């Protein structure tokens, strides 16, 4: 029988049990703890032009909480569908992290030139869902 670093693979597979809490919110439990260190780098974002921008966990946590508060203001909550239509810029991550504590129903669209944005916008326009426009980048 082959041995692995974890010991006996087949025995580990057979007896493994994941002890997970009934409710676990990654944004609170993990991300916010990392944000306690103001110098801890979360990402090095590089634009198409090649300019680099360092973003700390603390900055992402602060800005994502602002997003959450803006969405909670008009009453967004569990089960609500929230769609984010931004290219993969730093603000995209702030939005996703801000929405995550509110609801698990997040839709996103990457900034790919495949026409998906038009199709999704058209479908949202025909739906009975209402939405809030938080802002546009020029």
Could you say which DSSP state residue 76 is in? -
- Say what the pLDDT of residue 61 is: 92
In angstroms, what CA-CA distances link 2 with 5, 15, 17, 106, 112? 10, 17, 22, 43, 45
In a domain, 1, yes or no: no
Task: Say how many domains are in the chain.
Answer: 1
Instruction: Give pLDDT, residue 38.
Output: 94
Confidence tier at 110 by pLDDT (50, 70, 90)? low
Range of the structural domain that residue 105 is part of: 24-126
**Is pLDDT at 77 greater than 70 in this prediction?**
yes
Query: Is pLDDT above 90 for 58?
Result: yes
Termini Cα distance of the chain = 62
Q: How confident is the model at residue 1 (pLDDT cuts 50, 70, 90)?
A: low
Distance CA 77, CA 71 (A): 8
In a domain? residue 2: no
Asked if the structure places residue 114 within a domain, the reply is yes
Residues in the chain: 138
Place of tokens 């996103």: 108
Task: Give pLDDT tens digits for 29-54.
Answer: 788 889 999 999 999 999 889 999 99
- Render pLDDT for 81-102 as a digit per residue (tens, 0 to 9): 888 888 878 898 888 888 887 8
pLDDT at 125: 41
DSSP strand E in 15-96: where?
A: 41-46, 52-56, 81-85
Q: Give the closest residue to 27 by CA, choosing from 95, 107, 109, 110.
A: 95
Q: How far apart are CA 108 and CA 57, in angstroms?
A: 21
Instruction: Give the CATH number, domain containing residue 108.
Output: 3.40.50.980
Band (2; pLDDT cuts 50, 70, 90): low
């Amino acid at each position: 029988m082959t041995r692995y670093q974890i010991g006996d693979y087949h025995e580990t597979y057979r007896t493994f049990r994941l002890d997970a809490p009934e409710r676990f919110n990654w944004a609170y439990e993990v991300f916010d703890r990392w944000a306690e260190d103001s110098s801890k780098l979360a990402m090095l974002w590089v634009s198409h032009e090649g300019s680099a921008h360092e973003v700390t966990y603390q900055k992402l946590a602060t800005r994502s909480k602002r997003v959450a508060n803006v969405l909670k203001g008009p009453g967004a909550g569990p089960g609500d569908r929230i769609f984010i239509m931004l290219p993969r810029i730093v603000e995209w991550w702030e939005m996703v992290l801000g929405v995550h504590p509110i609801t698990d129903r997040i839709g996103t669209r990457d900034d790919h030139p495949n026409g998906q944005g038009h199709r999704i916008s058209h479908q949202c326009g025909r739906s009975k869902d209402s939405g809030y426009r938080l802002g546009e980048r020029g």
